[in-house]
Copies of this chain bind each other. A is one copy, B any other.
Amino acid sequence: MPNGRLTPRSLEELASHLGLSVGTVSRALNNRPEVREETRDRVAAAAKKLGYVPNHAGRSLRQGTTQAIGFIVNSDTVISRNAAVFYFELVNGIKAELANHKLDLVMFTGSAGEDMAQYAHRLATRRIVDGFILAETQPFDERIAAICSADMPLVSFGQSNTPGDYPWLDVDFPGMARDSVRRLHRLGHSNIAVSVGDMDLNYVVNFLEAYKEEMTHLALPLREDFIFKTNGTLQEGVDIAKRIFMMPERPTAIVNLLDTTSVGIYRGLEEIGKAVGEDLAIIGRVNDAATGMLNPVLTGYDLDVHAIGKELARLLISIIPGYSYAVRKPQANTVWHMHFTKGESDAAFAG
């Protein structure tokens, strides 16, 4: 290589080192059938030994493809900071699947004060990746419009009302709301409260809607003061517990959408000397890291986040042109069901 460098910076350098043309070297590296086996081996050995890696921009420009997938997530709100662990796990799942197709994952985090729609548009039109997985969908989500209008393959994690030709995968949070209300109702509870997070997020809206529907359907009291809105901090959970026991007609059960709220409520009840279960039945999201240590054991719903990541990646691959070899029938619009575990926090109504 020039000036004593070990690693070739271009095919040109590698080719001249081998006494071959760039075309042949390129074909060899890409395992084209037409190249002689001996040549292929020689090229592969040299590339490996010298540490040659194709220049990304060159390949990308020529092929119109980048061999990478983008994952877009916000990083500024309190909600997403609580969700940080969740997203790291999701990313691991996505990567596990992408690795089968030699695709890389890059993560784009939007931050405070940034116009996410504009950011998404820039990412999409720059063609920096071959497709996007988009998290934290909103009821109307301009990021989706931006990506679709750039004709980029897209899978959204969470539904949205924004129209477009993209598959989504959504967790069945409405099912969690309905089942929880029914279960508590069967246990004799009528005054069933709910706590939710940021109402800008589509899944939060849907969860709350399902709660209301089920309460109405069972002719249970639907009261504004039984609906607690939080930003997902522990402290808010503590406060909810305390507030509940200052209400003249208080809820005897609560369903929490966010795991941190459940943890906070446990703590709040302890502070005011009330018992989880007997004094307030709780159903929530179960999750080793956050609620795994709660005592009594939290009754609720958990998710195999890693598996969700893999499925999102599969969905995306199925719609990226050029990966049709990998296409099982594109299973658009997947509803992902949650897994219920009976714990000790949902005692029967004490009367």
Contact = CB atoms under 8 A, between A and B. Distances in A.
Interface of A: 6-7, 51-58, 60-61, 66, 68, 75-76, 80-82, 84-85, 87-89, 91-92, 95-96, 99, 104-109, 111-112, 114, 121-122, 125-128, 149-150, 233-235, 238, 267, 289, 292-293
A85 B87 CA distance: 10
Contacts of A53: 121-122, 125-126
B125 A7 contact: yes
Given A81-B88, A235-B293, A111 B128 contact: no
Contacts of A81: 85, 88-89, 289
Given A95-B111, A122-B53, A238 B106 contact: no
Contacts of A88: 75, 80-81, 84, 109
Contacts of A234: 292-293
The quantity of this chain's copies bound in the complex is: 2
9 contacts: A52-B125, A55-B126, A56-B57, A56-B60, A57-B57, A60-B60, A81-B88, A91-B111, A105-B109
A235 B290 CA distance: 11
A127 to B, nearest CB: 6
B84 A109 contact: no
Nearest to A293: B234
Contact of A293 (B60, B108, B150, B267): B267
B56 A75 contact: no
Nearest to A54: B126
Given A81-B289, A85-B84, A293-B267, A76 B92 contact: yes
A11 to B, nearest CB: 13
A293 B271 CA distance: 12
Contact of A107 (B68, B109, B126): B109
Contacts of A235: 292-293
A306 to B, nearest CB: 10
Contacts of A112: 92
